[in-house]
Amino acid sequence: FDNGSDAGLCSADCGREYGCGYGLRLARPESEFEMMRKSPAEILNNIFGFDSFLGLQNEIIDHVIAGGDALVLMPTGGGKSLCYQIPALCRDGAGLVISPLLALMRDQVESLNQLGVRASVLNSTLAYGEIKATEQKLLEGSLDLVYVSPEKLLTQEFLDHLSKCKLSLIAIDEAHCVSQWGHDFRPGYLKLNILKKLFPNIPRLALTATADGPTRRDIVERLELREGRLFVSSFDRPNIKYTIVSKDDSKNKLIKFIEDNHSGDSGIVYCMSRNKVETIAKWLTEEGFNALPYHAGMDKNHRELNQDKFSKEEGVIIVATIAFGMGIDKPDVRFVAHLDLPKSLESYYQETGRAGRDGLKSNAWLAYGLEDLSKIINFIVSSNASEDQKRIERQKLDALLGFCETMQCRRQVLLEYFGESLKNPCGNCDTCLEPVKSFDATVATQKALSCVYKTGERFGAAYIIDVLLGSNSARIVQFGHDKISTYGIGKEYSKNQWRSIFRQLVAKNLLVVDMEGHGGYSLGENSRGVLRGDEKVLLREEQFSKTVGRTSGKSRKRTKVTLEKAEDEALFQDLRAHRQELASEQKVPPFIIFHDTTLLEMVQKRPTSIVEFGRLSGVGKAKMERYAAGFLQVLSVPEKAES
Ligand code: ADP
Ligand code: ZN
């Protein structure tokens, strides 16, 4: 160090400031070095172990570091957390993160601690002593991030305490909870606008994965973010493959889907009712899967235990109602299966979005049938919503049906619904991979429509199909429908084929399910042209096999390897086992130690030294020091001699 020249000037005496590059040694006083914060890229690399930013992360981070407010819309798995975690580490003071999800807060704080970041959580479930200790640290400035529930935040006592602390930023996670539009509305969120008054100079950013227009406007208005910047990422989740099957034989189809693609993987199976959750979980268990139920009617402890197992053990399948999901941070959920139709495309996208947050290949699988329709319509009709709201719900249902019955790329339809457009078919959905054959269904449609008409526009699909097939059920005879001209005129198709046709006619609005909730059909406004023979109808041709072939439930082994080579797969499993050991010792979920992506990179790159290990994605300095030796040992076990 130069002692002679004036502090702050280049030691080469070129007259420029220090750091000009001409002086070999800089005259910067040591303390200032310490004060200099690291750059976002350095933090990304040294602490989080990632090479580059994803999508808009970089822009958002720069904007917040500069003191700007922002609303960030990114899909699940898009990388929202770094958008506030890195600025919090770059700016002075502690980052305040508001989140309504206790389990998620706990996991995030644990993950940050593993990375060597000083993070804590504050919520009402903690002991008094713990809360006081964290509050003291916050006051002393020895925390980088503190996660708070809205209830805790909004107590006068805590707000008073906060006003004495130095904050780097305020992040409002799950910001859609401020909107009455969404289903996650939290009244506490409405009061968060107080933060603007209390901390006018602290940047605030709101983050959400719910992107529709009304919700977005609500967030901006209610959180008073009008001067902030809006960042919207693409909502595409290219690693998720979408598949929809018809509901006949759905249980066996589900097992075959899991066996073929996901033996030993974690997944979620959604069902509409609590009863069905119980039945399916029991049945999957009997079939040899590690399946657990989850729904709001269960005893709280039991429910939490199951959720805990799902996140801490490998390969658990959770069977759940939609009560399950918010607050699940697990990055390696490999599949999301729906055994019943979700409420809307928004719900579908949110629920399926829980698969593959780590960016690895994942599946979204849905079995859907006509019976779902009447249930959902019943649901809408019997709710207390206003007529306007009901009409909106009905439109949402139509969009969902259109998606289910499309012959186009599923991803294109989905993204279009969310206001984005995808130029080319994705190549990673069922309709792309196995293009749907269509058939001229004009005559079939005419038969179906006139049968609906002739029976008085009050019966549902099951009955109409019976009439078309010429069934001699007592009901048909009782109503005299065995005498009408459409009786028995549809024998060229099977029951399943007719069901498929009816679903598509509903999706095309040629048939309308009545809004009284009885599930009866009437003719759609656009049906006249078809009945007159002026318009052709093309429908998708579905392949129906009698039974779904699958292996027996007993002694099921991992059939599908994640990796092509057996030795790679074996190593991957060894690494997973080591990770599970570490996780159990520390009582944390395995993904908090390392994500699957990092384990897979270990398999590919086979690092042999600590330095090489430190270069893996997801390995920052703290994790390198802590875990390199153990994993290197697993990696160095000599491969079995070839015989
Ligand atoms: P979100 O909250 O938007 O659902 P997360 O913040 O949990 O997303 O991030 C999703 C996944 O992406 C996590 O596994 C995270 O570690 C990873 N990730 C985030 N940013 C990066 C990055 N820049 N490079 C590599 N992986 C990243
Ligand atoms: Zn596609």
Q: Which of 48, 232, 349, 593 to mutate to test the pocket of ligand 1 (most atoms within 8 A of CB)?
A: 48
CA of 238 to the centre of ligand 1 (A): 15
Given this model, what pLDDT does residue 480 score? 94
Rounded to 5°, the CA angle 162-163-167 comes to 65
Residues 123 and 406: their CA atoms lie apart, in Å, by: 46
Please name the residue ranges forming H helices in 405-460: 410-417, 430-433, 442-454
Given this model, what pLDDT does residue 543 score? 67
247 or 211, greater pLDDT: 247
Ligand 1 close to Cβ of residue 50 (< 6 A): yes
Ligand (nearest to CA of 332): 1
The angle, 0 to 180 degrees and rounded to 10, between the axes of the packed helices 461-468 and 495-507 is 130
Sign of dihedral through CA atoms 48, 53, 55, 61? positive
Residue 557 clears pLDDT 70, i.e. is over it = no
Looking at this protein, which amino acid is placed at residue 549?
A: G
Atom of ligand 1 nearest to the CA of 76: 4
Give the contacts of 635 (CB within 8 A, at least 6 positions apart).
571, 575, 602, 606, 607, 608
Residues 154 and 574: their CA atoms lie apart, in Å, by: 47
Residue 607 clears pLDDT 90, i.e. is over it = yes
SS3 readout for 339-395 = CCCCCCHHHHHHHHCCCCCCCCCEEEEEEECHHHHHHHHHHHHHCCCCHHHHHHHHH
DSSP string, 280-337: HHHHHHHTT--EEEE-TTS-HHHHHHHHHHHHHSTT-EEEE-TTSBTB---TTEEEEE
Residue 517 clears pLDDT 70, i.e. is over it = no
Q: Which residues pair with 73 in a beta bridge?
A: 208, 232
Residues 600 and 596: their CA atoms lie apart, in Å, by: 6
Q: Which residues pair with 538 in a beta bridge?
A: 440
Given this model, what pLDDT does residue 211 score? 67
pLDDT (tens digit per residue) in 296-341: 999 999 999 999 999 889 899 999 998 777 667 899 999 999 999 9
Given this model, what pLDDT does residue 516 score? 64
Residue 293's φ and ψ, nearest 5 degrees, are -85, 160
Ligand 1 close to Cβ of residue 331 (< 6 A): yes
> In terms of Cα–Cα distance, which of 336, 347, 357, 355 is closest to 78?
357
